[in-house]
Amino acid sequence: MSDTDEKIEIESITSPNHVQRVNKAKFMAMRDALLPVLPSEGPGMTVAEAKAALLPNLSQELFPGGEKAGWWLKAVQLDLEAKGVIARDGKRPVRLVRTGK
């Protein structure tokens, strides 16, 4: 199995006890692009702001022209929230911060 076919299990804060298998390379690329752009203190960053900030750093090989970046951003967001790595500030629109975990 090549690196581009390898799968990883992810969770979702909105569906406890549900695990989904996704492409590991794309997940890790999105995670590695998202975490550095998120602030560690409030008020946080909206999902749209995070997407705009991470797109220039996203792998063009895996996400040519930002293709499917929105779906992968949401998948990574929900998994990292389930693991406590990022959190919402509780206000609308959703604003994300790193927790330090």
In whole angstroms, how far apart are CA 83 and each of 15, 35, 61?
13, 13, 27
Domain ranges of the chain: 7-98
What H or E segment, with its residue span, contains residue 96? strand 95-98
Q: Give the separation between CA 26 and CA 21, rounded to whole angstroms.
A: 12
Q: Beta partners for 98? A: 86
Q: Which residue has the tokens 């946080």?
A: 44
Q: What is the pTM of this model?
A: 0.90
Provide the residue-wise pLDDT of the chain in tens; the chain has 101 residues: 456 689 999 999 988 888 999 999 999 999 999 999 999 998 899 999 999 999 999 999 999 999 999 999 999 999 999 999 999 987 789 999 999 87
In CATH terms, 7-98 corresponds, of 1.10.10, 1.10.287, 2.30.38, 3.30.70, to 1.10.10
